Every structure is written in C-alpha cells, then in structure tokens.
C-alpha cells in the first residue's frame, strides 16, 4: 500500500456517506487512514459499509443530523473518543434544488442553507477547536464551481457554496498559527449516481461536456484524490485555498 500522502493511521472524520463522500471514504481507506464516517441517512452508511467493508477494517459509522449545532459538537467528541484523537475533518454533505429564483420557496432556501452552509460552520468550528488545541490538523470542505459561477437555477446552492468558500478562508486565517490548514475542493461537473439521471435528460451530458476544456465530465475519484491531498499531514503550507477540480471549466 502506497503512503505517498502520509495518511496511514491518520485519524479522519468524514461527514457524508453518499455520492462524493463514498469516493472519499474509499480513497482514505486505500491510503490506510482510520475513519469515522457520519451521515444523516443510515441507509447510506450501510450501503457504504457493504461496498467497502468499513467496519471490518476498524472504521466507525455514525448517524448524525448536523443541521443542529449540538450534533456537530457531539460528533467531533465521538470521533475523538473512537479514534483516540483527530487529524483531519472533511465536510462533504450538500443538497440542491434546480429551480428559478422566482419558484423557490422560503423552505427551499432555508433548508439548502441549513444543510450546506450552517452544518459546515458547526462542524468546522467544533473540529477547529479540537485541532487547534492539539497543535494542528486539516479541515477540508467540499465546495463547488457554483460558488464562483452564476449558474441559473442554483441560487441557494451557489450562495451556500460561496459562503463556504469565504467562511473557510476566515477559518484558515484564524487557525493557521495553530497549524490548522483549512481548504476547500470545488468540483465541476461530476458524473455520479446522484447526477446521472439529470445528465441523461435533454442532452444535459453533452451540453456540459462542451463547456469543459478537458472534454469530459469528472468522476468521483478525481475529487476524492484532491480531498485526500488537502487532508494530508504533508500539506503544511497550503491554507485558505479553493482547489477547483473541474477540467478547466472555470477557465472559460
């Protein structure tokens, strides 16, 4: 097993067991990290465990609703107890509803901001306190190119991801002196089980591919590799950075 990232036996809290989160879990396990994986959906956790055999490898699966501040605090405490400390935390949960601004309900806006941005703050604050006190660590957020580009029908999602980017930068500025590196990975157009239905409708796959200089959609492993890199203890002088994993989409 290659350990070029220095993640063997690293103690990692990963929030998000579906979509890109599952790819991140696979990347961390392959690198030899010790994992606590949390998700609101027990079925996501069980599905991931069935695919990767996480519990048989000593990983821990916890159900948690991080829309509540106290739940994030408790999750970080549980991760520290289960792993014997914490080296990295990854926030990889998010939801979206593709609707024009005029058709979005108040509930749509509040729920997307709550899941995507508020939970990111609650988790980051709790993890940052622990990592700062321990003398260092890594926090990685899954953002999106929507935090930079003005995609139509993405208003609350784009606002939440733009908010994550700037919140992350403030955390990075405050905690750098404690050895805590805080960064974000911003995927472009990624083909996943969750997006394939949309991509296979109305020629959306071809439309999006035409916007990407690399000429293809991304795959989850593209994102997971970037997340693992930024969670690595070898990354000691990169902080406050949004790493776009988009095949060049944000260049044009």
Query: Rounded CA gap, 227 and 143, in Å?
Result: 11
State both tokens at 20: 């890109």
**Residue 227 resides in a domain:** yes
Asked if residues 92 and 20 have their Cβ atoms less than 8 Å apart, the reply is yes
Digit-by-digit pLDDT tens for the chain (252 residues) are 568 899 999 999 999 998 899 999 999 999 999 999 999 999 999 999 999 999 999 999 999 999 999 999 999 999 999 999 999 999 999 999 999 999 999 999 999 999 999 999 999 999 999 999 999 999 999 999 999 999 999 999 999 999 999 999 999 999 999 999 999 999 999 998 778 888 999 999 999 999 999 999 999 999 999 999 999 999 999 999 999 999 999 998
Residue 1 within any structural domain of the chain: no
Q: Which residues contact 104 (CB under 8 A, 6 or more apart)?
A: 97, 155, 156
In a domain, 4, yes or no: no
Annotated catalytic residue within 141, 157, 189, 244: 157
The residues pairing with 12 across neighbouring beta strands, listed in sequence order, are: 35, 88
Would you say residue 246 lies in a domain? yes
Q: What is the Cα gyration radius of the chain?
A: 17
Measured between alpha carbons, how far is 163 from 117 in angstroms, rounded to an integer?
7
Q: Does residue 2 lie within any of the structural domains?
A: no
* Domain at 154, CATH number: 3.40.50.720
Question: How many independent structural domains does the chain possess?
Answer: 1
SS3 100: coil
At a CB cut-off of 8 Å and minimum separation 6, what does 174 contact?
none
Question: Domain containing 93: what range?
Answer: 11-251
206 falls within a domain: yes
Question: What stretches of 40-112 adopt beta strand conformation (E)?
Answer: 60-63, 88-91
Crossing angle of helices 155-175 and 106-113, in 10° steps, is: 30
Residue 5 lies in a domain: no
Residue at 223 is within a domain: yes
Contact 229, 4 (CB under 8 A): no
In the structure encoding, which two tokens stand for residue 134, read together?
């321990």
Is 157 one of the annotated active-site residues of the chain? yes
């Amino acid at each position: 097993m290659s350990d070029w990232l220095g993640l063997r036996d690293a103690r990692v809290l990963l929030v998000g067991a579906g979509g890109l989160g599952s790819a991140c879990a696979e990347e961390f396990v392959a690198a030899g990290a010790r994992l606590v994986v949390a998700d609101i959906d027990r079925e996501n956790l069980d599905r991931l465990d069935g695919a990767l055999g996480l519990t048989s490898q000593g990983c821990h699966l916890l159900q948690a609703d991080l829309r509540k501040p106290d739940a994030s605090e408790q999750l970080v405490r549980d991760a520290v107890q289960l792993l014997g400390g914490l080296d990295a935390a990854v926030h990889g949960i998010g939801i979206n509803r593709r609707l024009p601004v005029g058709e979005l309900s108040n509930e749509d806006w509040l729920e997307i901001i709550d899941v995507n941005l508020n939970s990111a703050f609650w988790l980051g604050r709790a993890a940052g306190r622990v990592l700062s006190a321990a003398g260092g660590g890594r926090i990685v957020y899954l953002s999106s190119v929507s935090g930079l580009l003005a995609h139509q029908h993405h208003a609350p999602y784009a606002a939440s991801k733009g908010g994550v980017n700037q919140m992350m930068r403030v955390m990075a500025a405050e905690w750098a002196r404690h050895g805590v590196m805080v960064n974000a990975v911003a995927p472009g157009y990624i083909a996943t089980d969750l997006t394939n239905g949309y991509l296979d409708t109305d020629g959306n796959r071809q439309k999006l591919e035409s916007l990407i200089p690399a000429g293809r959609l991304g795959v989850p492993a593209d994102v997971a590799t970037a997340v693992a890199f930024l969670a690595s203890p070898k990354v000691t002088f990169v902080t406050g950075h949004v790493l776009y994993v988009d095949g060049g989409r944000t260049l044009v």
